[in-house]
Amino acid sequence: MSKREAFNFVNKLISQENGRALKLNDTLIKSELDSLGYLLVLLGIEKKYCILIDVPKGEELSHIDIEVVTMKQLINRCVLSKCPT
């Protein structure tokens, strides 16, 4: 799974929720999504990349701080994460 593929995938999810596409060093908050939009993007990423697999129950939403996490950090998580087969 390439970083480029993950980058395009995340930006596609963001644009589907009417957010602004991000550059590598942008933080997630720059996408200008509403709270439901962030959740839907997170769920879309989780479905493909299982980035929340080791996150304790109840902490899923707070696990990714949209004001701090950059697109680069997010796609690194995507690429490093492994869905159970």
Q: Which of 24, 53, 61, 80: binder of another protein (CB under 8 A)?
A: 61
- Sole window of 1-9, 41-49, 67-75, 76-84 interacting with another protein (rule: CB under 8 A): 41-49
Quick one: the chain helix, strand, coil %, rounded to 5? 55, 0, 40
Q: Which of 7, 11, 28, 38: binder of another protein (CB under 8 A)?
A: 38
Q: Report the sign of the C-alpha dihedral through residues 72, 66, 78, 31, in that order.
A: negative
62 binds another protein (CB under 8 A): no
Angle, helices 35-49 vs 71-80, to 10°: value is 30
Q: What is the closest distance, in whole angstroms, from the C-beta atom of residue 2 to another protein in the complex?
A: 23
**Nearest Cα to Cα of residue 13 among 33, 69, 58, 60:** 33
Q: What is the closest distance, in whole angstroms, from the C-beta atom of residue 39 to another protein in the complex?
A: 4
17 binds another protein (CB under 8 A): yes
